[in-house]
């Protein structure tokens, strides 16, 4: 009966919203709160709003704006240890998040976190891939309420701004560069790259830059996260009680 709990580590860290974002942001930045060193400060010729800012300053501003956003959606995929992890999650500040995550070959689960509480709803494929087909009559289509401290905190911490940015190193890394980025969803962007981390971040070319995309910049990288719906009206609700099962029965 502990099949669900045994497989959850396979979704950590790459499939979680926090880890995926932190991996992308930290790879590009490593500069939260700091500007890039003078030796790596290049001025952007094709930008108006951010023309006078260094790559490090742009990242610092974009991260600060990200932390202050009332809501934002992240969607995309990252690759870790040969597996592809998909994520589509909407975060609402001071509430939590809702969305889904998936691992190639293992299935997926839906996720809701709300003010310190967390629920997951694994897909039937998820149970089957872990030898838990016998659980389907009991759990198919049901939400598991996470009650154990470690499991609940693992998920409730996913969608806080402090988690998303708190693990970024406080000292600047060499190799930060900026250049004109592509038009994304009708918005001009600035591209900030890190040669050391082989990653790139695209932010809106505006006085309050918003992160729109994070990618791996290596030739074989498949990491790709898109950010949208900044400040869109949103509210999170708990799953219906009738569709919820106490996770303690299954090791949570």
Rounded Cα–Cα distance for residues 68 and 46 (Å): 27
What pLDDT is recorded for position 68?
Answer: 85
Q: Mean pLDDT over residues 135-146, rounded? A: 90
Q: Which residue has the higher pLDDT, 138 or 30?
A: 138
Single pTM value for the model: 0.78
- Tell me the pLDDT tens digit for each residue of 165-181: 443 433 345 678 889 99
Mean pLDDT score of the chain, rounded to an integer?
74
Tell me the mean pLDDT in the region 129-137. Answer: 84
Q: What are phi and psi of 215, to 5 degrees?
A: -135, 160
* 245: confidence class by pLDDT, cuts 50, 70, 90: very high
Which residues does residue 169 pair with via DSSP β-bridges, in sequence order? none
pLDDT digits (tens, 9 = 90+) for 28-83: 444 333 333 333 333 344 445 788 888 888 888 888 888 888 998 888 887 767 77
Cβ-in-10-Å burial (0-12, 13-18, 19+) of 219 comes to exposed
Q: How far apart are CA 209 and CA 189, in angstroms?
A: 9
């Amino acid at each position: 009966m502990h099949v669900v709990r045994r497989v959850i580590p396979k979704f950590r860290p790459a499939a979680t919203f926090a880890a995926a974002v932190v991996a992308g942001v930290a790879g590009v930045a490593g500069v939260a709160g700091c500007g890039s060193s003078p030796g790596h400060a290049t001025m952007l010729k094709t930008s108006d709003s951010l023309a006078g800012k260094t790559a490090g300053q742009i990242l610092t501003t974009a991260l600060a704006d990200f932390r202050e956003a009332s809501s934002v959606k992240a969607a995309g995929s990252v690759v870790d240890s040969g597996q592809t992890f998909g994520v589509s999650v909407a975060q609402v500040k001071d509430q939590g998040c809702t969305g889904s995550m998936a691992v190639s070959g293992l299935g997926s689960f839906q996720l809701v976190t709300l003010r310190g509480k967390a629920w997951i709803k694994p897909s039937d494929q998820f149970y089957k891939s872990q030898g838990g087909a016998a659980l389907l009559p009991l759990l198919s289509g049901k939400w598991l309420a996470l009650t154990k401290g470690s499991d609940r905190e693992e998920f409730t911490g996913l969608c806080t701004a402090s988690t998303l940015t708190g693990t970024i190193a406080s000292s600047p890394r060499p190799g930060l560069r900026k250049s004109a980025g592509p038009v994304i969803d009708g918005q001009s962007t600035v591209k900030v790259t890190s040669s050391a981390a082989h990653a790139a971040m695209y932010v809106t070319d505006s006085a309050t830059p918003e992160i729109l995309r994070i990618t791996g910049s290596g030739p074989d990288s498949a990491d790709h996260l898109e950010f949208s719906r900044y400040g869109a009206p949103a509210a999170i609700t708990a799953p219906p009680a009738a569709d919820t099962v106490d996770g303690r029965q299954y090791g949570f």
